[in-house]
A = this chain, B = another copy of it.
Amino acid sequence: MQTQYYLELLGTGFFAISGALAANDKAQPDWFGASFIGFITAIGGGSLRDIILGSHPLVWISDINFVYAIIAGVILASIFFKALIKLRRTFFLFDTLGIAMFTIVGAEKAMSLNVNPVIAAIMGMFSAVMGGVIRDVLTNEIPIIFKKEVYATACLAGAAIYLTLDYLGLERNTNFLLSALIIIIIRIIAVKKNLSLPKFTKSE
């Protein structure tokens, strides 16, 4: 679990970087604005999950290290901005790792609060994607998950697989790695092959 804790901190920092970079693309904020949006992107999904589930204190309120990880992420994003833009491909990989991890961690957290597994799968997906949704709303964009990228669907599928395998008795760490890997593979294939879900209606 010690390893997982550091991975979560790392993932939170990565989310802050990607939030600050995405915000910068769209709204050209000042230093404060970029940090603020990086912060919200990083804590938004997990916070919304915990607020919906009534689970207090929120993770970053009870453990200040998550706030420090975010601050570090925002500072790194500012200093290494040009390098990070060039490294988008590498960055995409880390982002995908982070999303996969947060999905499973989120679903697990929800299960520990004794909710229905369907709710837990939704909460896992929320943990991973709602930070980005809030970021897009704040920068006045239609959230990207509504249109492109299969990744929210991948999260939902990964969470459902994790919960099913857990129910069937698979050992937790194996299950964690396996389910996260499925999310990662779906997302990478979807982006490589430019796959997308069908439009909601054919008439459009």
Interface residues of A (CB under 8 A from B): 20, 23-24, 27-34, 36-37, 47, 51-54, 56-58, 60-61, 64, 67, 78, 81-82, 115-116, 118-119, 122, 133, 137-143, 145-148, 150, 152-153, 156, 196-201, 203-204
**Cβ-defined partner of A30 (8 Å) among B36, B51, B196:** B196
- For A29, give the chain B residue with the smallest CB separation: B146
Do residues A145 and B36 form an inter-chain contact, with CB atoms below 8 A?
Answer: yes
Q: How many copies does the complex hold?
A: 3
Do residues A197 and B141 form an inter-chain contact, with CB atoms below 8 A?
Answer: no
Do residues B118 and A30 form an inter-chain contact, with CB atoms below 8 A?
Answer: no
**Cβ-defined partner of A200 (8 Å) among B30, B122, B150:** B30
Do residues A133 and B143 form an inter-chain contact, with CB atoms below 8 A?
Answer: no
User: With A30-B197, A137-B137 as given contacts, are A57 and B47 in contact (CB-CB < 8 Å)?
Assistant: no
Do residues A147 and B33 form an inter-chain contact, with CB atoms below 8 A?
Answer: yes
Do residues B138 and A140 form an inter-chain contact, with CB atoms below 8 A?
Answer: no
* Residues in chain B near residue A143, CB distance under 8 A: 138
Do residues A147 and B28 form an inter-chain contact, with CB atoms below 8 A?
Answer: yes
CB of A197, distance to nearest CB on chain B (Å): 4
* Residues in chain B near residue A147, CB distance under 8 A: 27-30, 33
* Residues in chain B near residue A28, CB distance under 8 A: 147, 199-200, 204
* Residues in chain B near residue A201, CB distance under 8 A: 24, 78, 81
Do residues A119 and B67 form an inter-chain contact, with CB atoms below 8 A?
Answer: yes
